[in-house]
Structure 1
Amino acid sequence: MDSELLGYGPRGLQSSARDETATERVFQQIRADGETARVDIARDLGISPATVTTITADLMARGLIEETAARTNATVRGRPRVALQLRAQAHVVAGLKLGDKVTTLVLLDFQGRQLAETALRQPLHFADTNTIVQLISKALDQALAQAGLSRADLSAIGIGVPGFVDAQLGLVHWSPILDRRMVPLRALLEDALDCPIAIDNDANLLALAELWFGVGRSIRDFIVVTIEQGVGMGVVIGNQLYQGTRGCGMEFGHMKVQPEGALCRCGQRGCLEAYVADYALLREAEMALPLVPAGSPDRLEKLFGEAKAGNLAAQSIFRRAGKLFGIGLANIVNIFDPELVILSGEQLRYDYLYSREVREMMEMNSLELGHPPVELRLHKWEDQLWAKGAAAFALDRVSRRVLVGGAQNA
């Protein structure tokens, strides 16, 4: 994010899925604009200038916002215009993505500016919670040392976890990085780290990153599909992240595409992920391509190279994955009718998942209503943006806590 553009969060949001107070609406407007004048807040939200003055005075007294000279491109005579912005020092949060190969962490201040980042290349596969705690602690200490801060400066930590996550309960039903199911991860981490924790599915948090920092700031309805070790999805409807009744929805990778089909790592059969994810492609390669040895660390690269070199067996593996992926995209287009579908993730370095054939398969299987096809956009984010989504999740939790509870921690 450009450090000069302090605004973050969706623009033009006038209400949320729940009833918001006037204070929350004013705060969100300041956050989204970066800096804005009281008169502009009153106009944009349709509330009286007197109400805005009262609310912003309270937010300033609590140390959450501050006055600043408004930026202008022209020389204006008379008294300088005063704007409002979030007070950067009010809170610091950490955002962290737990990955099977790399764990990334960023620190953000209350204005959404990045203070530090770190990445630890430690594989996580069926790890116990002690390993998770140690890894997070190491990443936190590295980033805090970069920023000249301590753990006492943190207001919250947001964490993205692959798998089935109940964000409300802080419970991980299943994750490929954990050694057991039904892990009360939030409670365990809060006890170990002595800091408020917010956890969610990592694809949801990547969608939140797009909503707060990316293209989603100006789009009300969009979908993010992630393709890495697994296949994930985050859905934004009306500027709000949709998670389902129990917070465990949007599992695109576990949409069934083949009855009694290939075994998925979730334990069921016929999931889309069981044909598209990297482990699925390599499983087929081990049976069809002895030229791609099972122990090779770059097996997927070798498989892709074989396909590009004309190996028909390798090409058929990618072709089937792309076909099923295109059909899966058509299904979510038919269900949600989004303005935009964003493809993101490590596997996008292989073009079979966004080739012309995939787009044609999506369009062919989408409802024909006389409208232009849904835009399919490739967005190759670095791992840090996943962590920024987790940090945005933490910032949102902190903001709600201090606004609704009237707490002061500045």
Structure 2
Amino acid sequence: MITPVTDSIRTDNTLALIRSLRAHGAMARVDLAAANQLSSATVTSISGDLLERGIIVERPPSAQQLGHRGRPKTLIALDPDAACVITIKLSINEVRFTVGNFCGELHHSDTQAVDTLALTAEALIELLVRHIDGLSQRLAATCGPVASICLAVQGIVSPVRGSIVWSPAFALRNVDIVSPLRARFACPVQLENDANCISAAITSHPDYMAIPNLAVIMLGYGVGMAMLIDGKPYLGAHGSSAEFGHTKYEANGALCACGKRGCIEAYVSDYALYRDAHTLLPLPAGDSAHPSEEQMQALVRLAENGNPVAKQIFAKAGHVLGTGIANVLALFNPDQVLITGSGVRAYHQLAPSLDQALNDALVEELIGQTRLATYGWDHDMTCMGAIQLALKAADHRLVQLDRSKALPLA
């Protein structure tokens, strides 16, 4: 069935208004119309529908407005409790559940320690169903029904098939994780690589919204990348593109967590840096295969204090990272390369050899006008980005429902 053009236009306009209210907070209808280049009549009609369905609420004029001449403007805003979204971050020996309200704010977070490598596919799905059920029941009264679920996973995933292809967190391969959850909870469920979730969080920031060609590199336990081309995420034919960490630096080189040798991740990731350092340097005790933040900070401090072994380890990592970024510049010529993740803690130690590797690898014209910068990691943006992606799916579902209905969500 072909959707009438007028319905399609109204859907697009409704989505635009919801996203404006989420990005900017409460706005007057006239200002919302101007921001989206819509007529006042269109905004009045759509907002009336959303108000009736409990998706938005009216707020009284602010104190600042009351001090001005003329009739104060009534503001409208998204109702944060209209619905919520659940995100799940699956990483090595840890599963983190977060709940975002309809405004995109973090409402709840809970981290579970799990022996992920020991999980069967059935046990993994049962664990997720049990926790989602518990969250849905516990939080329904405070943040509304669950409108969407998003899973963020380290490693290679197929959003098209909804399956975890490979992840260092699991011994499993090619597990369809989306279909069982979608059937159980009757709402949109999506699966994303964790780097793509981080990219979604960053590109929701006003400073980065307008950059059409952007490469976001995540440094941490592993090394990931998300690519935006012409403003859209590039996923490849099967959703596993931009696996920057598993491109090669040298044949038969250092062993990577993927089981192959010579990957960029095998030199730049936390586990690679710590593997090279822990037998040579006085570092805190712990699992050398899965170093803690305390262990990594101790290694950075040694380098900052001039320890030659620590400095050499970071210099090597910077050279490898710079060589990999040079390939990205030569292949894609992005407007900006943004480096983020917990690994930016050591960026000052990486930067000299990174810059040198870039200049050694490329002629000046291939480096071009691409900007290279870091994005601070004062909190884990994976779940915040997953909330953004889950809300996008929830918005589409909400506006496509029969407008005469309330909010029949899971």
Tell me: CA distance 1:186–1:242, structure 2 relative to 1, closer, same or farther (3 Å).
same
Label 1:71 to 1:234 Cα distance change in 2 as closer, same or farther (>3 A). Answer: farther
Matched, 1:95 2:87: yes
Q: Distance in 1 between matches of 2:168 and 2:271?
A: 12
Q: CA deviation at 1:209?
A: 1.4
Counterpart residue type for residue 153 of structure 2: V
Is 1:330 the equivalent of 2:331?
no
What residue number does 2:3 align with? Answer: none
User: Kindly tell me: are residues 151 and 88 of structure 1, through their superposed partners in 2, closer, same or farther at Cα, counting changes over 3 Å?
Assistant: closer
Confirm whether residue 271 of structure 1 aligns to residue 280 of structure 2: no
Post-superposition Cα deviations, 1:106-151, rounded to whole Å, max 9, x if no partner, equal 2211111222222334453353335534654676588679857589
Equivalent residue letter for 1:241: P
Q: Residue by residue, what CA displacement relative to the aligned partner does 1:244-288 show, whole Å, maximum 9, x if unpaired? A: 2322212111122223433433243332112222333344457x7
What CA distance in whole angstroms lies between the structure 1 residues aligned with 2:297 and 2:34? 55
Distance change (3 Å), C-alpha of 1:19 and 1:162: farther
Say whether the 8 Å CA contact 1:97–1:159 is kept in structure 2.
yes
The corresponding residue for 2:120 is: 128
- How many pairs align? 391
2:374 is matched with 377
* Aligned position for 2:150: 158
Q: CA deviation at 1:167?
A: 1.5
Q: Partners in 2 of 1:64 and 1:19 — Cα distance?
A: 16
1:336-355 alignment, distance < 5 Å: 336-351=332-347, 354-355=350-351
- Tell which deviates more after alignment, 158-167 or 337-346: 337-346
Q: What's 2:354 paired with?
A: 358
Offset of 1:186 from its aligned partner? 1.2
Unaligned runs of 5+ in 1: 1-17
Q: What amino acid is aligned across from residue 129 of structure 1 in structure 2?
A: A
- Residue in structure 2 matched with residue 199 of structure 1 by the alignment: 191
CA separation of 1:22/1:378 partners in 2, compared to 1, >3 Å: closer, same or farther?
Answer: closer
The ranges of structure 1 where at least 4 consecutive aligned residues each deviate by more than 6 angstroms after the TM superposition are 141-146, 290-295
Aligned AA (1:98): L
Q: Is the 8 A contact 1:116 1:143 kept in 2?
A: no
- Shift in Å at residue 184 of structure 1? 0.2
Q: CA deviation at 1:389?
A: 1.4
Which of residues 28, 45, 51 is equivalent to 1:37? 28
* Equivalent pair of 1:93/1:109 in contact (CA under 8 Å): yes
Structure 2: 5+ residue runs without aligned partners? 1-8
Q: Which residue of 2 aligns with 1:21?
A: 12
Q: 8 Å contact 2:84–2:143 — kept in the other structure?
A: no
Q: Distance in 2 between matches of 1:150 and 1:83?
A: 23
Equivalent AA in structure 1 for residue 190 of structure 2: A
Taking a change above 3 Å as real, the CA distance of residues 338 and 123 of structure 1, as seen in their structure-2 partners, is farther
Alignment of 1:2-401 (within 5 A): 21-71=12-62, 73-74=64-65, 75-122=67-114, 124-125=116-117, 127-133=119-125, 136=128, 149=141, 153-190=145-182, 196-212=188-204, 215-217=207-209, 219-285=211-277, 289=280, 312=308, 314-351=310-347, 354-362=350-358, 365=361, 368-369=364-365, 374-383=371-380, 385-401=381-397
Tell me how far 1:89 sits from its aligned partner: 1.7
Contact 2:129 2:181 in 1 (8 A): no
Instruction: Provide the C-alpha distance between the structure 1 equivalents of 2:93 and 2:339, rounded to a whole number of angstroms.
Output: 20
CA gap of 1:67–1:149, structure 2 versus 1, over 3 A, is closer
Deviates more, 1:207-216 or 1:102-111: 207-216
* Distance verdict in 2 for CA 1:130–1:304, change over 3 Å: farther
CA contact (8 A) 1:118 1:143 kept: no
Q: Separation in 2 of the partners of 1:115 and 1:302?
A: 33
* Structure 2 letter corresponding to 1:235: M
The secondary structure found in structure 2 opposite 1:59 is helix
| Superposed CA offset, 1:183-237 (max 9, x none) | 0011234456676432210110011111235753464543321112210112234
The answer on whether the counterparts of 2:26 and 2:76 sit within 8 Å (CA) in structure 1 is yes
Q: What is the TM-score normalised by the length of structure 1?
A: 0.80
CA-CA distance at 1:325 after TM superposition:
0.4
- Shifted more, 130-139 versus 95-104: the winner is 130-139
CA distance in 1, matches of 2:70, 2:193: 52
